[in-house]
Structure 1
Amino acid sequence: MSTDLPELPVTFRPTRTRAVLLTLAGGLLAAFVAIAVMLPADGARPWHTTDRLWMVLTGALIAAVLVLLSRPKVVADRDGVTVVNLTTRRRLEWAQVIRVNLRPGDPWVLLDLADGTSLAAMGIQPGIGRARALRDARGLRALAEVHGSGGPAGQ
């Protein structure tokens, strides 16, 4: 297997998905703020300060969810790998990573761990960029094989 090892440290993340989500978050927040400012203060159904505040808070909440969705990444360095998913962060030593899997139909990479469990690594996902996800999964697999205690993934 002739896979080039990525230079460490390396960060794997779905950059296009992240760019879309962060752009959308900023645009939606700006739109909610603009609407809150432009709402009529007089007339048959006037908007009060609390109404405007709730409009801005709603926009901020939606933006926060989009920022949360843009968070996943996998950071590999000489000592191990850090998996950052939506709400969790887990640091693993290379010896803990037995296998790196990205099978057809998987929404993201799964790491088989030495304790018999699996860990989703949402930072490598084939949703928008399948070729890049495959390349990143191969790179992480090669790093795990070189730096970890398990042999090649086929064992």
Structure 2
Amino acid sequence: MTVPCAIALVVVFTVVGVLLRDSDTGANFYLADQIAMVVIGVILAGLTLLWAVPRVRADTSGIEVRNVLTKRTFAWSEVLSVSFPDGASWARLELPDDEYHAVMAVQAVDRQHAVDAVRALRRLHKQARESR
């Protein structure tokens, strides 16, 4: 969904940039303004694509969570549990001292896929705990 949205932003801002001309309101648009509109569209598209970055990789040794701007790796021994609180947008790793780390790759809008992902992460967590 983010790629079509990013493409739409570039197209819309490019069309607006190309169509910008002098108007009846007295505003004057120059070539630099038209180029700036296209650049703004490209920047917004790039920011939109950041939402396609989240990923989670897990095995019996630990879990790597890449969110929009950060990437962290946890050993399963550092993780108390994998949870998906009611009303939350995404899953999270419960950590010691009442801390948690969001797992943005597992989102509530994915419904059954999110349920399956949380169950798989919980199985890996349980296997890692039992093997110690």
**Could you tell me whether the CA contact under 8 Å between 1:111 and 1:120 is conserved in 2?**
yes
Structure 1 segments of 4+ aligned residues over 6 angstroms from their partners:
41-44
Is the Cα contact below 8 Å between 1:95 and 1:114 reproduced in 2?
Answer: no
Indicate whether 1:108 and 2:90 are aligned: yes
C-alpha deviation, 1:139, in angstroms: 0.7
TM-score by length of 2: 0.82
Of 96, 112, 126, the residue aligned with 1:131 is 112
Q: Classify 1:94/1:32 alpha carbon distance in 2 versus 1 (closer, same or farther; 3 Å).
A: same
Q: Which runs of 5+ in 1 are unaligned?
A: 1-19
| CA distance in 2 between partners of 1:52 and 1:106 (Å) | 41
Structure 2, unpaired ranges of 5+: none
Q: How far is the alpha carbon of 1:41 from its aligned partner? A: 7.4
Structure of greater relative contact order (alpha carbons < 8 Å, 6+ residues apart) = 1
Alignment partner, residue 79 of structure 2: 97
Match of 2:48 in 1: 66
State the Cα RMSD in Å.
2.6
| Deviation at residue 147 of structure 1 after TM alignment | 2.1
Cα distance in 1 between the residues matched to 2:124 and 2:82: 10
Alignment of 1:48 onto 2:58: no
Contact 1:83 1:91 in 2 (8 A): yes
Distance in 2 between the 1:29 and 1:124 partners? 28
1:141 pairs with 2:127: no
Structure-2 residue corresponding to 1:119: 101
Residue-pair matches, total: 131
Structure with the largest fraction of helix: 2
